[in-house]
Structure 1
Amino acid sequence: MAKSMRCKRVKRLRAIRREIVEKESFTLTREDAKSAAIEAALAAPKLPVRLPPPSPFMEVATPTSESASVSANVMGISFDFYK
């Protein structure tokens, strides 16, 4: 009889400890962590946008008036508005 009383008392103490641990749990659930990360990101100061460094391979050659008139003469077309 004493053994069953001790067993019940131990079970009750374990249950009480479990409840205390659950209440004081500092671990976040996945959704809580996700929402906290989103809030922190939105509250952070905005970063300035940097342009990528100019690359010589990405340059587009703009036709000058001389090159346009030369290419027009080769094709036999007259573009007077380039002069």
Structure 2
Amino acid sequence: MFGHSGRWLSNPLGLLLTQDDLLGATALVKVVGGDGRTLLGDARKTFGVKELQTVIIKGTARKDQAGNLTVVASGLFLEK
């Protein structure tokens, strides 16, 4: 069975999503330190996040006029 982009993708929740579905369900996550400054670096290297891994974010979400979702994260928890 094929999706809009020609292939289905599996994810940790067991849902079948197309690549287009995943692109439409993304958010920018800015991780901040205790001083409120954005932490620099790649989350894969800094926190050990793997592709399609479930990440639980604690923070404040905002949506701009273009519909982009940004989360300013004060906590990050990795599901293993």
Q: Same fold (TM over 0.5)?
A: no
Give the alignment's TM-score, normalised by structure 2: 0.20
Q: Which structure carries more relative contact order (alpha carbon 8 Å, separation 6+)?
A: 2
Higher Rg of the two aligned structures = 1
Q: TM-score, normalised by structure 1?
A: 0.20
